[in-house]
Amino acid sequence: MASAAAPATVGRVLFYSTLTALTTGLGALPLLSCRAVTPRNIAFSNCAAAGMCLAASVSLALEGLCTPLPDARLRVLVGAGLGYLFIVATRSFLQRHEDIKFSSLQGANAQKTLLLIVVMTAHSFAEGVGIGVSFNDRAQFGVYVSTALAIHNIPEGLAVALVLVPQGTPVVKAALWAVISSLPQPLMALPAFLFVRQFGGVLPVGLGFAAAAMAHVACFELLPESREEMAKAKGSDVELLGVLGGAFAAMLAVQMALHEASE
Ligand SMILES: [Zn+2]
């Protein structure tokens, strides 16, 4: 651990938060080897993405509850309520625009995929605030939090790519969407760093918001889609349960390890 760490500056905050956003694109790379687009593959991909989102949701909620504020629990709860309303509103907006197109996708597929991207992007706002606040704490702590987030972004980029690529989106394009979904991180890190007093109180609300949105999209979009595709492939839900559990455990293990390292 560096004792006489360089002071946190606007430039440093911007550098680390931008780097953090860019690593999200790395998550798409494993899919370069993805060839066959079968219902079975789509089922497994969506299920793995759901497992990762659920684990991310758990750790976002825990992070919010651990914020050193007397009413952190209430703030997380308010954020979760707002997150739920946000998803309901976004979904109803997308459903009213049935002709919606996204990347090379149309109709129901475009709506579902867009909802996932919107949720991933929205939850990045809270993470950006987290980066800014942590740099204000100690510059070294900010570097740890950014590094942890940069690694956490890789499986999240994978979750985005797991939904896009099996539907025919090129890997490079999927990587680009993954990076875009993390752009709010540098965008929010800077104001949060400069106005930490105001943002510090908003952080648990943002984390609650992000946790609820992620959990909702996993349970009500990714998992039903996964089961539907699995039924087409005449596979069983038990197989999906294995994939879900594996992805959840793997992502949670990564997050726990990163959390330990950042303390
Ligand atoms: Zn995240």
The rounded Å distance from CA 80 to ligand 1 centre is 15
The rounded Å distance from CA 147 to ligand 1 centre is 13
Tell me the per-residue pLDDT of 118-164, one tens digit each, with 9 for 90 and over.
888 988 888 898 888 888 877 777 888 888 888 888 888 888 888 88
Q: How far apart are CA 39 and CA 29, in angstroms?
A: 21
> Is 1 domain-assigned?
no
> Is 28 domain-assigned?
yes
Q: How far apart are CA 78 and CA 84, in angstroms?
A: 10
Average pLDDT, the chain: 85
> Is 151 domain-assigned?
yes
> Is 3 domain-assigned?
no
Q: How far apart are CA 19 and CA 153, in angstroms?
A: 11
Q: Where are the alpha helices (DSSP H) in 66-195?
A: 72-96, 107-137, 139-164, 171-182, 184-194
The rounded Å distance from CA 155 to ligand 1 centre is 9
Tell me the per-residue pLDDT of 71-91, one tens digit each, with 9 for 90 and over.
999 999 999 999 899 888 988
Q: Stretch 232-252: mean pLDDT, rounded?
A: 91
Q: How far apart are CA 244 and CA 55, in angstroms?
A: 10
Domain of 193 in residue numbering reads as: 10-261
Contacts of 236 (CB under 8 A, 6+ apart): 230
In this prediction, residue 76 carries a pLDDT of 93
> Is 4 domain-assigned?
no
Q: Is 35 helix (H, G, I), strand (E, B) or coil?
A: coil
Nearest Cα to Cα of residue 160 among 172, 150, 175: 175
> Is 135 domain-assigned?
yes
The total number of structural domains that make up the chain: 1
Looking only at the bridges linking them, the beta strands covering 101-102 and 105-106 are: antiparallel
Read off the DSSP letter of residue 67.
Answer: S
Report whether pLDDT(3) > 50.
no
> Is 90 domain-assigned?
yes
Identify whether the C-beta of residue 188 lies closer than 8 Å to the C-beta of residue 63: no
The rounded Å distance from CA 115 to ligand 1 centre is 15
The percent of residues above 90 in pLDDT, for the chain, comes to: 29
Q: Stretch 174-201: mean pLDDT, rounded?
A: 90
> Is 79 domain-assigned?
yes
Q: How far apart are CA 91 and CA 137, in angstroms?
A: 37
The rounded Å distance from CA 234 to ligand 1 centre is 33
Q: How far apart are CA 194 and CA 136, in angstroms?
A: 8
